[in-house]
């Protein structure tokens, strides 16, 4: 009992002062696609209530010139395996909008939640700042989500395999918990190019679960 | 939701019963002069086609994307009512049709549907069988227009069913003029967004084991 209490106090002390825990309050939103890639192709599975749907998700970056270069537009398209479009979203000037959807998905709750899913996919924090924190401080980075797109909550970057300043083998993941009437959980696991290669999104009340795995990056 | 998508999957495969390799050259199409004769010839070829094995290449063209999403796979048909439509790359996805039942297999999970259990599925099943028999030009569920050039016949099918219409604006099938079999199959959602399926390495009337149409 006494030993447990001592360990608990020591743990609190370590957590309070240990530099491995960092906070990144000043999130700058950049998309998960780095300069060298413009398109991601994912295999997708959606469970919604008793329904099941599978297909493909394409995230396409549209880099313009001048001001648009650092704030590109994104198109996110959901389609069936045989190629028919299901839903299409566009992210431009910090806002996500539904471009079109088929009658099959003509349910406001579905395409609104899918929109939040897309927002969270696009939003990210400034990686240069993150990497600096990781290198100097540690393996867990806590961030805040943007309020501008209507998604509030907490976001955590998790890194395994970091020892001191060595970044030899890093397993990177991100956990997002949104607030609100219908909170959502979001898990992203990244590949070595820092691109999400597995994404899982769930909303318990509506029994919505979306799971995607990266097939190709162009 | 998935049920409706599977109807669309069936739509995608039914026209592929008449498979042949050839890409039609871009030539002007004019209205077919003798539609009755063409119908007879296609029916005759279909009646003599007992099995088909082919590779396929599927291309998704989207106005908003600067790439073409390409998938490849294998298609096997055996008369009557047996079909295997298998995507191999960049993902694995298998559709099996066998004596009125359809199965979709992915990630070692199987979904099964009885095509006789609903009118919609039954009509699509009938449509598929009619296609095998050569009645593609006379399908009452589509408004059909037929054109020709030196290499091909182009059949344009506009769905009359509103449920199908909201997803597909038209289907175009290119039929090889010599063999009377399908070269290419295109599903249009709009003028700029479409899915095109080309068939390659076709083998007709080779022995095909029934095991191809059962999920192992």
Round the average pLDDT of chain A to a whole number and report it.
70
A56 reaches B (C-beta below 8 A) = yes
**Of A81-90, A101-110, B78-87, the least confident:** A101-110
Nearest to B69 among A58, A75, A105 (CB): A58
- Tally of domains within chain B: 1
> Would you say residue B135 has pLDDT above 70?
no
Size of interface A-B (CB pairs under 8 A): 87
Residue of A nearest to B12 (CA): A82
The full set of domain ranges for chain A reads 21-217
Torsion of CA B4, B141, A103, A217, to 10 degrees: 70
> Would you say residue A12 has pLDDT above 50?
no
Query: Would you tell me how many other CB atoms lie within 10 Å of the CB of residue B163?
Result: 13
Name the residue range of residue B95's domain: 2-205
Reported as type and span, the H/E element at residue A59 is strand A51-62
Asked if residue B213 is part of any domain, the answer here is no
Q: Which residues does residue A56 pair with via DSSP β-bridges, in sequence order?
A: A43, A79
B192 reaches A (C-beta below 8 A) = no
**Is A85 in contact with B65 (Cβ distance < 8 A)?**
no
CB–CB of B106/B93 below 8 Å?
Answer: yes
**Is A56 in contact with B2 (Cβ distance < 8 A)?**
no
Q: How far apart are CA A30 and CA A191, in angstroms?
A: 17
Asked if residue B215 is part of any domain, the answer here is no
Contacts of B167 in chain A (CB under 8 A): 84, 102-104
Determine what percent of chain B falls in helix, strand and coil, rounding each to the nearest 5: 25, 40, 30
**Is B167 in contact with A103 (Cβ distance < 8 A)?**
yes
Nearest-Cα distance to chain B for A52, in Å, is: 6
Asked if residue B216 is part of any domain, the answer here is no
Q: How far apart are CA A186 and CA B80, in angstroms?
A: 47
Torsion of CA A148, A152, A157, A158, to 10 degrees: -170
Round the average pLDDT of chain B to a whole number and report it.
78
pLDDT digits (tens, 9 = 90+) for B45-95: 888 888 889 899 999 998 888 788 999 999 898 888 788 989 999 999 998
- Mean pLDDT for A144-158 is 62
CB–CB of A140/A20 below 8 Å?
Answer: yes
B89 reaches A (C-beta below 8 A) = no
Q: For domain A21-217, is the CATH number 1.10.3470? A: no
**Of A186-190, A198-202, A211-215, the least confident:** A186-190
Asked if residue B214 is part of any domain, the answer here is no
pLDDT bucket at A139, cuts 50 / 70 / 90: low
Asked if residue B13 is part of any domain, the answer here is yes
ipTM of the complex: 0.73
> Would you say residue B25 has pLDDT above 90?
no
For residues A6 and B128, which has the higher predicted lDDT (pLDDT)? B128
Asked if residue B164 is part of any domain, the answer here is yes
Q: Which residues does residue A78 pair with via DSSP β-bridges, in sequence order?
A: A57, A87
Could you give the C-alpha distances from B87 to B71, B94, B181, in angstroms and in order? Answer: 7, 6, 22
Nearest to A84 among B71, B106, B187 (CB): B187
The CATH number of the domain holding residue B70 is 2.50.20.10
Shortest CA distance to B116 belongs to which of B137, B102, B130, B135? Answer: B102
Which among B15, B69, B169 is the top mutation candidate for probing chain A, defined by the most A β-carbons within 10 Å of its own β-carbon? B69
Contacts of A55 in chain B (CB under 8 A): 5
A166 reaches B (C-beta below 8 A) = no
Q: How far apart are CA A95 and CA A113, in angstroms?
A: 15
């Amino acid at each position: 009992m006494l030993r447990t209490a001592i360990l608990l106090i020591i743990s609190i002390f370590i957590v309070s002062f240990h530099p491995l825990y960092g906070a990144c309050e000043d999130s700058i939103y950049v998309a998960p696609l780095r300069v060298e890639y413009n398109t991601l192709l994912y295999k997708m599975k959606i469970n919604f209530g008793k329904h099941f749907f599978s297909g493909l998700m394409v995230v396409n970056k549209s880099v313009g010139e001048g001001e648009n270069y650092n704030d590109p537009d994104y198109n996110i398209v959901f389609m069936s395996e045989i190629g028919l479009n299901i839903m299409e979203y566009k992210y431009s000037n910090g806002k996500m909008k539904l471009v079109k959807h088929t009658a099959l998905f003509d349910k406001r709750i579905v395409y609104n939640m899918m929109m939040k899913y897309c927002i969270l996919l696009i939003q990210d924090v400034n990686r240069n700042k993150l990497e600096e924190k990781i290198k100097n401080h540690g393996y867990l980075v806590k961030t805040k989500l943007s309020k501008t797109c209507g998604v509030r909550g907490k976001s955590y970057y998790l890194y395994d395999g970091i020892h001191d300043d060595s970044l030899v083998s890093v397993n990177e993941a991100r956990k997002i918990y949104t607030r609100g009437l219908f909170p959502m959980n979001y898990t992203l696991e990244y590949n070595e190019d820092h691109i999400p290669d597995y994404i899982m999104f769930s909303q318990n009340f509506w029994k919505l679960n979306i799971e995607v795995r990266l097939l190709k990056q162009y | 939701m998935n049920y409706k998508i599977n109807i669309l999957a069936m739509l995608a495969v039914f026209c592929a019963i008449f498979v042949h390799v050839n890409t039609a050259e871009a030539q002007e199409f004019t209205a077919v002069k003798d539609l009755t004769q063409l119908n007879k010839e296609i029916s005759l070829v279909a009646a003599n086609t007992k099995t088909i094995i082919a590779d396929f290449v599927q291309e998704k063209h989207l106005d908003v994307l600067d790439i073409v999403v390409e998938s490849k796979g294998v298609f096997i048909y055996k008369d009557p009512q047996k079909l295997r439509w298998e995507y191999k790359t960049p993902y694995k996805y298998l559709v099996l049709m066998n004596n009125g039942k359809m199965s979709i297999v992915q990630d070692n999970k199987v979904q099964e549907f009885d095509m006789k259990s609903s009118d919609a599925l039954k009509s699509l099943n009938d449509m598929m069988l009619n296609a095998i028999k050569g009645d593609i030009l006379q399908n009452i569920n589509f408004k059909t227009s037929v054109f020709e050039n030196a290499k091909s016949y182009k059949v344009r099918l506009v769905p009359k069913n509103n449920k199908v219409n909201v997803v597909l604006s038209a289907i175009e099938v290119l039929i090889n003029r010599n063999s009377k079999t399908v070269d290419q199959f295109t599903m249009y959602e709009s003028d700029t967004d479409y899915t095109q399926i080309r068939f390659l390495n076709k083998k007709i009337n080779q022995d095909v084991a029934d095991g191809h149409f059962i999920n192992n």
